[in-house]
């Protein structure tokens, strides 16, 4: 006698509950997303780029605290970004480019401004190669010398690493004249966006305040006071030029970065002289007539 057909009959499954259907849908979505992400990321070769900050100032939970990011080689798609007139007009073309080239899962606005030079150099190398032609002026003779810079050989700036602690982006400094104790931070891209917007707003009312605007975003406390309005008032009304300059010099002394100065040989004397590498229009637009 054949088996009676019941809900337990082989080959017949029980209907799924709402929770099971939801879990299945989430699983399929995540599987699809992961597949798409891997395809997008690994379609092109990538390189690991070391950040000048070594990841020290970032929160340990932030991926940037690893001190490296992964970037992909530039393609024609990224060249489209470089020729986007709207991006160029609004001054965001390079940020758009860097975002497109960075593979690592990071929040771009968390990136320290001082780490962006490394990303800029890497983007140029991954797009158009390591050789960059510059024209340098010999300070001794006034002669202009053509020189090819190997961008992969640029060194990191020497700074006082003893002042850096892993996971900490605060640096104490005593103002030389007023003796007030201030704490400053390394600026992030988020801070830079605010500074740029503030300066742009001031320019609309014919006011230039680049130095004080920078200080207002650099300083996070004065003698323990962290109220932003009080810090702004101090910078505007009480900060002496000698103290302002000291803060900016201290900021430079603790800021990791790529050293954009190179030694250039003088063909006649055999000596070398130092010259600044100033990335020009042809840095990312090598075919531009400049």
Q: What is the pLDDT of residues 200-237, one digit of tens each?
A: 887 777 677 778 889 999 999 999 999 999 999 999 99
- Give the integer Cα–Cα distance in Å for 121 and 158: 18
Other CB atoms within a 10 A radius of the CB of residue 234 amount to 19
Pull the structure tokens for residue 70: 């992964």
Average pLDDT of every residue of the chain: 83
Is residue 157 within 8 A of residue 256, CB to CB? The reply is yes
Can you spell out the DSSP letters for 49-81? EE-TTTTTTS-TTSGGGGSEEEEEPP-HHHHHH
* Gyration radius of the chain over CA positions: 27
Domains and CATH numbers, the chain: 46-156+258-283 (no CATH), 161-254 (3.30.2220)
- Give the integer Cα–Cα distance in Å for 115 and 287: 27
Q: What percent of the chain has pLDDT over 70?
A: 82
- Give the integer Cα–Cα distance in Å for 74 and 78: 6
Host H or E run for residue 144: strand 144-150
- Residues sharing a CB contact under 8 Å with residue 27, sequence separation 6 or more, in sequence order: none
Q: Read off the pTM.
A: 0.76
User: In this predicted model, what pLDDT tens digit does every residue of 50-77 receive, in sequence order?
Assistant: 999 999 999 999 999 999 999 999 988 9
């Amino acid at each position: 006698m054949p088996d009676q057909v019941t809900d337990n009959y082989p080959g017949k499954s029980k209907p799924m509950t709402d929770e099971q259907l939801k879990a299945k849908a989430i699983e399929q979505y995540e599987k699809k997303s992961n597949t798409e992400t891997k395809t997008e990321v690994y379609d092109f070769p990538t390189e690991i780029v070391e950040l000048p900050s070594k990841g020290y100032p970032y929160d340990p939970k932030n991926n940037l605290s690893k001190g490296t990011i992964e970037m992909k080689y530039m393609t024609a798609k990224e060249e489209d970004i470089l020729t986007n007139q709207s991006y160029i007009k609004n001054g965001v073309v390079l940020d758009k480019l860097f975002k497109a080239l960075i593979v690592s899962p990071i929040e771009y606005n968390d990136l320290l401004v001082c780490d962006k030079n490394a990303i800029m150099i890497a983007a140029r190398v991954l797009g158009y190669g390591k050789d960059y032609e510059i024209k340098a002026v010999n300070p001794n003779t006034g002669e202009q010398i053509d020189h090819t810079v190997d961008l992969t050989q640029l060194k990191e700036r020497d700074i006082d690493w003893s002042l850096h602690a892993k996971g900490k982006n605060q640096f104490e400094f005593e103002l030389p004249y007023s003796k007030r104790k201030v704490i400053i931070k390394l600026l992030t891209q988020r801070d830079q966006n605010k500074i740029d917007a503030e300066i742009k707003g001031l320019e609309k009312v014919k006011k230039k305040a680049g130095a004080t605007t920078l200080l207002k975003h650099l300083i996070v406390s004065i003698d323990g006071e962290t109220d932003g309005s009080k810090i702004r008032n101090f910078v505007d009304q009480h900060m002496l030029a000698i103290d302002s300059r000291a803060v900016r010099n201290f900021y430079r002394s603790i800021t990791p970065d790529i050293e954009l100065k190179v030694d250039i040989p003088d063909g006649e004397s055999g000596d070398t002289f130092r010259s600044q590498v100033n990335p020009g229009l042809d840095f990312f637009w090598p075919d531009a007539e400049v």
